[in-house]
Amino acid sequence: MKAMNAPVWSPCIKVCFVDPREGICVGCFRTMEELGRWTKMSEAEREAVKPALDERRSAYETKVR
């Protein structure tokens, strides 16, 4: 059982800039919706987002090269 005040895992790397064309943060690659809901999401929901973050990162890095 987790402690009530346990920190919430986050992909945030403190580089917060939302690419207006892509609608994602180019630091953590979360969408605006995910950013807004992150602390309200269940652990399972956050875990489900992880694969998409890697996919978005790869796609974004391919576009900006």
Give the residue-averaged pLDDT of 26-32: 97
CA dist., res. 29 & res. 13, Å (int): 10
Tell me the average pLDDT of the chain.
91
CA dist., res. 51 & res. 57, Å (int): 10
Q: Residue 6: is its pLDDT beyond 80?
A: no
* pTM score, whole prediction: 0.83
Query: How do the domains of the chain map onto residue ranges?
Result: 18-64
Phi-psi domain of 25 (left: phi exceeds 0; alpha: psi -120 through 50; beta: other): beta
- Top pLDDT among 57 and 7 is at 57
At 18 the three-state DSSP class reads strand
